């Protein structure tokens, strides 16, 4: 008869493979695992083994708490000077008539449409438009802050920032200082893709490289800002490229402690130059989240971004190391719908997010961008959330 393992100690004690037993023991003893250990986890770890260990780590760090936030996105433009092969969203400047470019007034119109809503964060990210420069974005940041000072602005990837700073002929330090002073509170995790040049040169050759990406985050951390990190996985990379990517992040985090969250982003293959590459299976996806939780021992949070993964799979990740499922979004991002995600109009009310989390016996907690807890929804009835405009 097959044994049903319900805890990490049992599964590590019973695993036959010597490497997995050694690595599992390290994790149970809260010791850091090595680069090679990380690769072995991907190669040999079964879904149940990885899930049990990742859940063990998740529960000793966060118990059942599962964070979400109330946010909306602004995508200033999808016109982009770069041509990442996986991108389904951008249009080259020559084809800008097929894309969009928002003016500051148009973006403020979006911000103002949330005036009566209890959102805490605006996430601003888009293509790299050759005509939208640092002064334009500084003005945007200042105008948002003048209108709603307490709204946290998480904006711009190093891809956008690097281009803006080079065009404005300012150093990274100077550019980040100007953006921060104008109102930029933190950096999202985008633009990281896969750091290793062997893969990066094949999928996004012309944009900022790994060192540039890491240096911009490091500079932000030195200014006291927090940031996130992503990894675009499940395409042409091998397992060791994923570990290499996470290893570079783990090293920077040891140095600065400025990262909040790691977000594995599943490659979606519709309408891009990599459409011939098959998407990863849900089993690979869950293993990815679990290994991220085990490798990134110095990252407090692992996030599943539901607009990309779909809400049911995001719910499943809560048993594979994830403790955050991002936000309400309000149908304000196009990146994933254009790449073929099943979430074509991503939007969830607070009641829906809370239900999703409660259905799998976790504890829903609303957070702000930097993980200050705003409200614990454990004892709040979903029916009450639906009728209370402050809660929903």
* Nearest approach, Cβ of residue 219 and ligand V47 (Å): 17
Tell me whether residue 127 or residue 321 sits nearer to ligand SF4 (CB atom): 127
Looking at residues 101 to 140 of the shown chain, list those that interact with ligand SF4 (rule: CB under 6 A): 127-128
Is 80 labeled as ligand-binding? yes
Residue 126 token pair = 């888009």
Residue whose C-beta lies closest to ligand V47:
190
Q: Footprint of ligand SF4 on residues 202-221 (CB under 6 A)?
A: 204, 207
90 binds ligand SF4 (CB under 6 A): yes
Nearest approach, Cβ of residue 46 and ligand V47 (Å): 26
Least Cβ distance, residue 277 to ligand V47 (angstroms): 10
The site partner of 243 among ligand SF4, ligand V47, none (C-beta below 5 to 8 Å per kind) is none
Can you tell me which of 24, 126, 188, 258 binds ligand V47, judged by CB under 6 A? Answer: 188
**3-state SS track over the chain:** CCCCCCCHHHHHHHCCCHHHHHHHHHHHCCCCCCHHHHHHHHHHCCHHHHHHHHHHHHHHHHCCEEEEECEEEECCECECCCCCCCCCCCECHHHHHHCCECCHHHHHHHHHCCCCCCCCEEEECCCCCCCCCHHHHHHHHHHHHHHCCCCEEEECCHHHHHHHHHHHCCCHHHHHHHHHHHCCCEECCCCCCCCCHHHHHHHCCCCCCHHHHHHHHHHHHHCCCEEEEEEEECCCCCHHHHHHHHHHHHHHHHHHCCEEEEEEEECCCCCCCCCCCCCCCHHHHHHHHHHHHHHCCCCCEEECCHHHHCHHHHHHHCCCCCCEEEECCCCCCCCCCCCCCCCCCCCCCHHHHHHHHHHCCCEEEEECCCCCEEEECCCCCHHHHHHCCCCC
CA separation for the pair 373, 271 (Å, rounded):
39
Closer residue to ligand SF4 in complex, CB, 50/125: 125
Which of 191, 264, 321, 346: binder of ligand V47 (CB under 6 A)?
A: 191
Q: Which stretch binds ligand V47 (CB under 6 A): 82-90, 108-116, 240-248, 314-322?
A: 82-90
78 binds ligand V47 (CB under 6 A): no
String marking each residue 342-371 x if it binds ligand V47 according to CB under 6 A: ------------------------------
Residue 45 lies near ligand SF4 (rule: CB under 6 A):
no
- Closest C-alpha among 271, 265, 262 to residue 337: 271
Instruction: Tell which one of 159, 199, 214, 302 touches ligand SF4 (CB under 6 A).
Output: 159
Span of 172-180, 260-268, 344-352, 377-385 interacting with ligand V47 by CB under 6 A: 260-268
> How far, in whole angstroms, is CA 317 from its chain's centroid?
14
357 near ligand SF4, rule: CB under 6 A:
no
> Is residue 86 a contact residue for ligand V47 (CB under 6 A)?
yes
- CA 389 from chain centre, in angstroms, equals 28
Q: How far is residue 67's CA from residue 126's CA, in Å, rounded to a whole number?
A: 25
Q: Which of 55, 66, 78, 88 binds ligand V47 (CB under 6 A)?
A: 88
Identify the CA nearest to 135 among candidates 169, 100, 183, 168: 168
Binding of residue 265 to ligand V47 (CB under 6 A) = yes
Cβ closer to ligand V47: 34 or 212? 212
Per-residue string for binding with ligand V47, 211-250, x by CB under 6 A? Answer: -----------------x-x-x------------------
Q: Is residue 204 annotated as involved in ligand binding? A: no
What is the closest distance, in whole angstroms, from the C-beta atom of residue 214 to ligand SF4 in the complex?
17
Separation of alpha carbons 160 and 329, rounded Å: 21
> Per the annotation, where are the binding residues?
80, 84, 87
Give residues in contact with ligand SF4 (CB under 6 A). Answer: 80, 82-84, 87, 89-90, 127-128, 159, 204, 207
List of residues contacting ligand V47 (CB under 6 A): 86-88, 125, 188-191, 193, 228, 230, 232, 263, 265, 267-268, 272, 305, 308, 326, 335, 339
Annotated binding site for [4Fe-4S] cluster: 80, 84, 87
């Amino acid at each position: 008869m097959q044994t049903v393992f319900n805890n990490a100690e049992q599964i590590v004690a019973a695993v036959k493979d010597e490497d997995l037993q050694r690595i599992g023991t390290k994790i149970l003893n809260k010791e850091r695992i090595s680069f090679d250990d990380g690769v072995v986890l991907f190669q040999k770890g079964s879904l149940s083994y990885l899930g049990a260990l990742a859940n063990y780590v998740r529960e000793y760090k966060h118990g059942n708490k599962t964070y979400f936030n109330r946010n909306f996105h602004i995508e200033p433009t999808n016109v982009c000077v770069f041509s990442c092969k996986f991108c389904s969203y951008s249009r080259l400047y020559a084809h800008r008539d097929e894309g969009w470019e928002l003016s500051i007034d148009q973006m403020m119109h979006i911000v103002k449409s949330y005036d009566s809503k209890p959102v805490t964060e605006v996430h601003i990210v888009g293509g790299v438009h050759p005509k939208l420069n640092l002064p334009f974005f500084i003005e945007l940041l200042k105008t948002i802050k003048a209108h709603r000072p307490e709204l946290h602005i998480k904006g711009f990837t190093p891809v956008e920032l690097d281009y803006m700073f080079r065009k404005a002929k300012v150093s990274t330090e100077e550019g980040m200082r100007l953006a921060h002073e104008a109102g930029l509170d933190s950096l999202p995790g985008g633009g990281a893709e896969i750091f290793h040049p062997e893969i990066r040169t094949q999928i996004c050759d012309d944009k900022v490289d790994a060192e540039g990406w890491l240096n911009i985050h490091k500079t932000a951390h030195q200014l006291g800002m927090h940031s996130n990190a992503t990894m675009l996985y499940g395409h042409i990379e091998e397992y060791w490229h994923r570990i290499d990517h996470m290893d570079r992040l783990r090293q920077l985090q040891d140095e600065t402690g400025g990262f909040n969250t790691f977000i594995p982003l599943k490659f979606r293959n519709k309408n891009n130059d990599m459409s011939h590459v098959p998407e990863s299976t849900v089993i690979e996806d869950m293993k990815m989240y679990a290994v991220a939780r085990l490798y990134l021992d110095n990252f407090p949070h692992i996030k599943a971004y539901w607009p990309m993964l779909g809400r049911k799979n995001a719910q499943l990740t809560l048993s594979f190391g994830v403790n955050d499922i991002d936000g309400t979004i309000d149908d304000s991002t196009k990146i994933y719908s254009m790449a073929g995600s099943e979430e074509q109009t991503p939007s969830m009310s607070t009641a829906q997010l809370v239900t999703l989390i409660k259905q799998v016996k976790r504890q829903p907690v609303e957070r702000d961008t930097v993980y200050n807890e705003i409200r614990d929804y454990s004892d709040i009835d979903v029916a009450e959330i639906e009728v209370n405009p402050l809660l929903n």
